[in-house]
Amino acid sequence: MKLEDYFDFLSPDDIRLKGHRIGIDDVLYYYLEGYTPEEIAANLPSLSLEEIHATITYYLHNQAEVDAYLRRLATWREQRYREWEANPPPVVQRLRALETQRKRKQTVPA
């Protein structure tokens, strides 16, 4: 089995573990934070240690490319968040308005 056989390369910016909806970025987030493979498995219990080790090994063999992938993904996520923040769904707008009203009531002297 080749190392790449553990992954589904859905697009240049979407690499997932085969048979899972979990991206390699999810595993690598923990790994780069200093988690051991066993600790990663505890946080991502649907993955086997073999899959976790394969992801780490893939990262170590392709570090420059995977680091660029992770940077692109972080940029995309930040952009999506900014778009959401600029135009939140109506329910979020209502909750924010209620929170503002609640704070005003707390600061009004009786």
Domain range summary for the chain, segments of one domain joined by +: 3-107
Give the per-residue pLDDT at 87: 87
Q: How confident is the model at residue 110 (pLDDT cuts 50, 70, 90)?
A: low
- The tens digit of pLDDT for each residue in 27-83 reads 999 999 999 999 999 999 999 999 999 999 999 999 999 999 999 999 999 999 998
Rounded to whole angstroms, what are the CA distances from 80 to 27, 73, 74, 75, 88?
21, 10, 10, 9, 11
Fold category of 3-107 in CATH: Arc Repressor Mutant, subunit A (1.10.10)
pTM for the whole thing? 0.77
The lowest-confidence range among 6-15, 34-43, 81-90 is 81-90
Rounded distance between C-alpha atoms, residue 25 and residue 67, angstroms: 10
pLDDT of 84 above 80: yes
Three-class secondary structure of residue 17 per DSSP: strand
pLDDT of 19 above 70: yes
